[in-house]
Amino acid sequence: MKSPDHDEKYPFPHPSTADEEGVVAVGGEFNAGRLLAAYRQGIFPWSGDPLRWYSPTPRGIIWQVKLPRRLPKMIRKGGFRITFDRAFQQVVQACSDSHRHEGEWITSDFVRAYTELHHEGYAHSVEVWNREGDLVGGLYGVHIAGLYAGESMFYREPNASKVAFAALVHHLKAIGVVLIDCQMVTEYTERLGAVWVWREDYLELLEQALAQESRYSGEIWPADGCFAD
């Protein structure tokens, strides 16, 4: 994993300086290095004109994972196949297309910057394929040491995003991730186990997570994830 000294190249104000909306900084470079520095400091980007960098309070994390009881049946019925890091840019673009009606926040600059971070081994995707070999669901996020910061997910067939999340959780537990950041608690993420925490508590959890060793931090995940072990 890159040294924390790397963060000095991309300094941010302390998250405690955020305004009432959680904005810490506006504009500036948007590349893999700055993204990595932001996540290490408890900050994430959101689109706008110009780009905005956030550290909101309260903030959503997945505290106690809740998975559908019918999940095995969902997987069998859908005939789904799961892979990791084999179609990253496709997943990000699919998330962008899926959420376009909410406002274009996954812009082409986001696709470019996160793809660059993926090539450096810190941004990852989970893909769900149907029997015909079509990409029908997935998600992507950032993995640094014991932190996983979820960014977005999509589905084109029922339950495909739930299958992607279940596979992700199993993989993260196996590799040593201890903090799953989901940024916001929505009706959907709450059903998955999301809760609100105050910024100071999140930053304490983040510090502990970044001190935690985990497998594949700074590496492309195996196609079968932890299932390959």
- Which element (helix H / strand E) includes 204? helix 199-210
- Sketch the domain layout of the chain as residue ranges: 4-56, 60-228
Name the band, by pLDDT with cuts 50, 70 and 90, for residue 3. very low
Average pLDDT score over residue span 56-60: 98
Helix intervals (H) in 59-198? 71-78, 88-98, 108-119, 160-175, 187-192
At residue 101, the pLDDT reads: 66
List pLDDT tens digits, range 125-142.
Answer: 999 999 999 999 999 999
* 52-54 vs 123-129, strand pairing mode: unpaired
How are the residues of the chain apportioned to helix, strand and coil, as percentages rounded to the nearest 5?
40, 25, 40
Rounded Cα–Cα distance for residues 10 and 168 (Å): 29
Q: Are 24 and 18 in contact (CB under 8 A)?
A: yes
What phi and psi, each to the nearest 5 degrees, are found at residue 53?
Answer: -120, 130
Average pLDDT score over residue span 207-216: 96
What per-residue string of b and e applies to 113-143 under the rule 16 or more CB within 10 Å gives b? bbbbbbeebbbbbbbbbbeeeebbbbbbbbb
Please provide the DSSP assignment of 55-81 as one string. --SSEEEE-S----TTHHHHHHHHT-E
Name the band, by pLDDT with cuts 50, 70 and 90, for residue 203. very high
pTM of the complete model: 0.93
The CATH class that applies to domain 60-228 reads alpha beta
What phi and psi, each to the nearest 5 degrees, are found at residue 178?
Answer: -115, -10
Q: Are 72 and 41 in contact (CB under 8 A)?
A: no
CATH architecture of 4-56: 2-Layer Sandwich (3.30)
User: For the chain, what is the mean pLDDT?
Assistant: 91
**Among 228, 99, 225, CA closest to 161:** 99
Q: What percent of the chain has pLDDT over 90?
A: 79
Q: Are 113 and 32 in contact (CB under 8 A)?
A: yes
Rounded Cα–Cα distance for residues 225 and 163 (Å): 14
